[in-house]
Structure 1
Amino acid sequence: MERKVLLVCLSVGFLGLLTAALGFAAEAKRIKGSQVQVTAPDMCVYPRSPAMALGLIACVSLMTAQFIINVVAGCICCRTSHASTSNWTVALVCFVVSWFTFVIAFLLLLTGAALNDQHGEEGMYFGSYCYVVKPGVFAGGAILSLASVTLGILYYLTIISEKNRTEAWGGSPHPNQGGIAMGHPQFPTQTTQEPVFVHEDTYNRRQFP
């Protein structure tokens, strides 16, 4: 494996693991319903929690990993010349699912972080409800972030593999056409003798000396 490919995979993999770890940490540190105190008929007192900071850092880490993968691998929309190969199909599936899981994971982590920004006294929701983030929001974002990063790395490796295979066959996306030499059909050369023109007076002199 090339050094650049190894470096990209290690960097993105580290960011993916960091995102997942921060997501699970935010899940453990989120504000729970048992920690909220009701001081007045319509007031809730929330404790301070590091879940918001953990969730925001996880969002930044996930976004950085996705950015690196798409910069080094490029957009698959520009690789339609290899649409008939099996590697291109695998890369397309990984690309689409990676972006899908990235969007959901990012929204879960960002929403959980925003809703854990509550601290101190806050008014009740709908008059009698102290809102807290439901269990599993950060954990779901962490799991989906791992899936997104894994699929992104697989997409990158598939693109690199297809690129190396194409270069090995002389730049042709189809192996059975890589070494075909184009030529022109050979036909035997036909020589034609040009006609000789004789002046009319010369012909008459030969007929009547």
Structure 2
Amino acid sequence: MEKHQYGFLLIIFFVVSLGLMSFISCIIAESQKAKEEDMKLDNKLCYLPESKAFSFGIAALICLVIAQIIGNFVICSNFWLRKDEDSSKAKKPKIATAFLVLSWICFGLAVILLSAGTSMSRKQLYGKGWLDQKCYVVKDGVFIGSGFLVLISIAATLATSLFTISKVQGELTARIHAQLV
């Protein structure tokens, strides 16, 4: 039982670390994004060099996706993948389900914002641009906003996993206590 707890704590630490790395990458990407002054105009054509925000945005996306997958794997393994014979199978708590839905909504929004901001941070060549042959600069706060969505997503995923763990462990404790009495 204790090995399971240490493994769970290690996984939680890993998920939190990835979430924090993603958040920090978002903050750094915000400070490194291209500015309007960086744009060069040649008649109607524009050029925008690649900014360092591109690599930090990619790092934030990778860390977020891995953290979300691992966090949801923990939830699934403790919540839905138990054997049918196991009487300690947890019922779907409404609070845990609400946190899980919140986690996925924030995850989706963060991925959309990060993907768009990261894509705009690539080099935009003369006549190519980002969209419709026009150059676009990432607005202020896009990366910071996605960073806060990352934090909410990871926190909601961890809350879901903690609710499912505590529900299962509570049922196990009650079952063991009933056998002792």
Q: TM-score, normalised by structure 2?
A: 0.82
CA separation of 1:126 and 1:82: change in aligned 2, threshold 3 A: closer
SS at match of 1:44: strand
Letter of the structure 2 residue corresponding to residue 95 of structure 1: L
Q: Give the distance between the partners of 1:136 and 1:45, measured in 2 at CA.
A: 23
Map 1:1-209; keep pairs closer than 5 Å.
Answer: 2-38=5-41, 40-74=42-76, 82-83=91-92, 88-123=93-128, 130-170=135-175
CA separation of 1:122 and 1:137: change in aligned 2, threshold 3 A: farther
Could you tell me whether the CA contact under 8 Å between 2:90 and 2:164 is conserved in 1?
no
Structure 2 residue runs of 5 or longer lacking an equivalent are 83-88
Say which one has the larger Rg.
Answer: 1
What's the CA shift for 1:49? 0.9
Identity of aligned residues (%): 27
Could you tell me whether the CA contact under 8 Å between 1:46 and 1:122 is conserved in 2?
no
CA separation of 1:95 and 1:82: change in aligned 2, threshold 3 A: same
What's the CA shift for 1:89? 2.1
Q: TM-score, normalised by structure 1?
A: 0.71
What's the CA shift for 1:14? 0.4
Structure 1 residue runs of 5 or longer lacking an equivalent are 180-209
Q: Greater helix share, 1 or 2? A: 2
Could you tell me whether the CA contact under 8 Å between 1:21 and 1:142 is conserved in 2?
yes
What's the CA shift for 1:136? 1.5
CA separation of 1:120 and 1:147: change in aligned 2, threshold 3 A: same
Q: Give the distance between the partners of 1:157 and 1:5, measured in 2 at CA.
A: 10
Could you tell me whether the CA contact under 8 Å between 1:31 and 1:49 is conserved in 2?
yes
What's the CA shift for 1:120? 4.2
CA separation of 1:17 and 1:122: change in aligned 2, threshold 3 A: farther
What's the CA shift for 1:121? 2.7
Q: Give the distance between the partners of 1:110 and 1:120, measured in 2 at CA.
A: 19
Q: Give the distance between the partners of 1:103 and 1:153, measured in 2 at CA.
A: 17
Could you tell me whether the CA contact under 8 Å between 2:46 and 2:127 is conserved in 1?
yes
SS at match of 2:34: coil
Higher RCO structure (Cα 8 Å, ≥6 apart) = 2
Letter of the structure 1 residue corresponding to residue 101 of structure 2: V
Report how many aligned residue pairs link the two structures: 168
Q: Give the distance between the partners of 1:19 and 1:51, measured in 2 at CA.
A: 13
Could you tell me whether the CA contact under 8 Å between 1:20 and 1:143 is conserved in 2?
yes
Could you tell me whether the CA contact under 8 Å between 2:99 and 2:156 is conserved in 1?
yes
Could you tell me whether the CA contact under 8 Å between 2:49 and 2:122 is conserved in 1?
no
What's the CA shift for 1:4? 1.5
What's the CA shift for 1:78? 6.9
Could you tell me whether the CA contact under 8 Å between 1:49 and 1:116 is conserved in 2?
yes
Partner of 2:85: none
Q: Give the distance between the partners of 2:124 and 2:100, measured in 1 at CA.
A: 39
Could you tell me whether the CA contact under 8 Å between 2:103 and 2:153 is conserved in 1?
yes
Q: Give the distance between the partners of 1:64 and 1:169, measured in 2 at CA.
A: 35
Could you tell me whether the CA contact under 8 Å between 2:124 and 2:135 is conserved in 1?
no
